[in-house]
A and B are shown apart, each in its own frame.
Chain A
Amino acid sequence: MKAPDQAATLAADAALFEFADYDAGEGERGGYSNYSYWKSTTKMFLAKKTSLFFLVLLGALLFFTFVQPFVPGQRSPTTIFQDPATGMQFRNVTPGAQFWFGTNSIGQDLWSRIWSGTRTSLLIGLTVGLAEMLIGIAFGAVWGYVRRLDRVMTEIYNVLDNIPTTVLLMLLAYIMRPSFKTMVFAMCAVGWLGLARFVRNQIVIIRDREYNLASRCLGTPARRIVLRNILPYLVSVIMLQTALSIPGTIGWEVFLTYIGLGLPVQIPSLGNLVNEGRMIMMSPELRYQLIFPTVITSLITISFYVLGNSFSDASDPRNHV
């Protein structure tokens, strides 16, 4: 029997020991340096000159697109302008001091039309990108995490994925008749599939890793495991997919407009502008009407593409340190 002995020793030496107060700062000290995920990501991202360049370019474009209507002296994008002297419409005026980007075939100001169109198209792109991200993550998470639903959801995925994107998109746009809402709905309906499948596959892979098993044994609810343990792991790819879906959406918008299922002609959008420009491209002196919108479209899509790719490289923690 040693216990009484020990108790005696402890009692005797009580004076040698004292309780320490809990110090939060001391508790943090043992951790790994002062690594911060977002700080490292930003640093990696800004280290590349190309991504910095496109970031500034896209930032400037976005800023100007949304600020342009509030700048004094801007014309309305839908008004048809007439020459006060003759009462004639300003048709196909080439770019100059009066109309910076010229006018189109019915006398509307191309400069303000382009910014208004960019606004519409970006709005579609951002809405669709965000919606696709939410739907894709939600569907993918449930699909990957709830085993009983796997079969059903796989079948749903197979059916939707087996219809060519072009066909499904056209069909939806045709059935619902052209409008802003139709456009957003149709593109959301086809765009989330890829992300959902990716999220699902990743979740199936990491669902049963040791750290998740441990977490589940400790009684962490499924929702928290998905949101806190698994999704942060997927940030880089989710960001990439969302960034790529914006130029993708703008491309589809141009496509739908081209085949006659785009937004109504009264609403300027990049698709409508490219399409209007296409109709008069046979006469070389009027080609500015095609070139200006296509240059803007290309700048925006290339920026998103490059930025998405370099951000996904930068946000992968394996590339840090």
Chain B
Amino acid sequence: MIKYAFKRLLQSLLTLFIVVSFVFLLMRLLPIEGYFGDRFQKMSPGEVEAGLQKMGLLDPWYAQLGKFYAGLAKGDLGVSFIYRRDVAVTKIIAPRIPYSMGFGLTAVAIAMISGLAMGVGMAKNKGLFPDKLGTLYIVFVHAVPLAVYLLFVQLYGSSLLGLPILFDKHRPVSWILPGISMSLNGIAFYAMWMRRYMVDELNKDYIKLARAKGLPNGAIMVKHVMRNAYVPLAQYLPAAILATIGGSIYIESLYSIPGMGGLLVDVIQRQDNSMVQALVLIFSSVGIIGLFLGDLLMALFDPRIKLVKSEGAR
């Protein structure tokens, strides 16, 4: 187990390194006006070059990459160019993470609980009305673009239920709509997979045996079916929890929540390259770490995994 974890950790670090370097090099292609903001219009080509030189952007790419990693080791992600000039990126980001994580974790909890309950309900009533209703919801969430239905939740949630349309940290009522909108997608995800895994499990021989030996239906469901069906879903949990750091791009900007996702949209619109770079790097690393923890959790959860994974098979 420890050997597997260690191997997987090294592999993840390598992938992380390659991804971060790749994204960093991709960033060298960002539009150059993004380093100057409004001043760019009035600058002569000479001034632009001098400015880029000063920022070290004309150095060869490996020198820039080395400098970036040296800064990263000290926890320094550079300074913002436009968004808040010359303020360290880390200082801008730090106060925003709690908002994103707060909403994110609530949404994960809501999605998990109601999604799993919905999936179980659908699997139990397969082919009947609750199953059909649930399928309708899942198709709707998958097929209609996120931007569209979130907009309608905001629009009609606020006008019909009288809830505030924008986020206000001193009014807890205004937290309801963003919290719910954020979990809609997750509910569909968990319900769909829980239903499918449970239906698969229910057709297996050991369930027939359990029935034959007279185990009550409830006990079969709880002890056998749900436990086995949940294992593949547990894999996504760490990634989902970590991803809350990034927040939701749509919801945060719709409700103007001062979180990370809204920040990304802001800095892209204002073309602040160093901020875009820092955020993109954070988002990608969070994703990779999440996958790593998910695999690890799977190995802990399910004793069968260890034997299979030893060859690094995918």
Chain A residues in 8 Å Cβ range of B19: 159, 162-163
A237 within 8 A of B: no
Contacts known (A163-B284, A167-B283, A259-B268); A177 close to B31, Cβ less than 8 A: yes
A65 within 8 A of B: no
On whether the beta carbons of B249 and A259 are closer than 8 Å, the reply is yes
Distance of B19 from chain A, by nearest CB (Å): 5
Within 8 A of B (CB), among A241-279: 247, 250-251, 254-255, 258-261, 274, 278
On whether the beta carbons of B143 and A298 are closer than 8 Å, the reply is yes
Q: CA–CA, A166 to B314, complex, Å?
A: 25
Q: CA–CA, A250 to B148, complex, Å?
A: 11
B2-10, B22-30, B57-65: which lies at the interface: B22-30
Main secondary structure of the interface of A (DSSP, over half): helix
On whether the beta carbons of A254 and B147 are closer than 8 Å, the reply is yes
Within 8 A of B (CB), among A136-171: 154-155, 158-159, 162-164, 166-167, 170-171
Chain A residues in 8 Å Cβ range of B23: 163, 167, 171
Count A-B pairs with CB separation below 8 Å: 106
Which residue of B has the minimal Cβ distance to A304? B143
Distance of A280 from chain B, by nearest CB (Å): 12
On whether the beta carbons of B144 and A254 are closer than 8 Å, the reply is no
Interface size on B, residues (CB 8 A): 40
Chain A residues in 8 Å Cβ range of B145: 247, 250-251, 254-255, 297-298, 301
Contacts known (A247-B143, A281-B155, A302-B143); A158 close to B15, Cβ less than 8 A: yes
On whether the beta carbons of A171 and B139 are closer than 8 Å, the reply is no
Chain A residues in 8 Å Cβ range of B265: 259-260
A111 within 8 A of B: no
Q: CA–CA, A163 to B23, complex, Å?
A: 8
On whether the beta carbons of A298 and B22 are closer than 8 Å, the reply is no
On whether the beta carbons of A162 and B287 are closer than 8 Å, the reply is yes
B229 within 8 A of A: no
Q: CA–CA, A306 to B148, complex, Å?
A: 18
Q: CA–CA, A15 to B268, complex, Å?
A: 92
Contacts known (A163-B19, A166-B249, A171-B26); A294 close to B152, Cβ less than 8 A: yes
Contacts known (A259-B269, A261-B268, A305-B142); A159 close to B151, Cβ less than 8 A: no
Residues of B near any A CB (own CB < 8 A): 15-16, 18-19, 22-23, 26-27, 29-31, 139-140, 142-148, 151-152, 155, 159, 246, 249-250, 253, 264-265, 268-269, 276, 280, 283-284, 287-288, 291, 314
Residues of A near any B CB (own CB < 8 A): 154-155, 158-159, 162-164, 166-167, 170-171, 174-175, 177, 247, 250-251, 254-255, 258-261, 274, 278, 281, 284, 287, 290, 294, 297-298, 301-302, 304-306
User: Which 4 interchain pairs have the tightest Cβ spacing?
Assistant: A251-B145, A305-B143, A302-B143, A260-B269
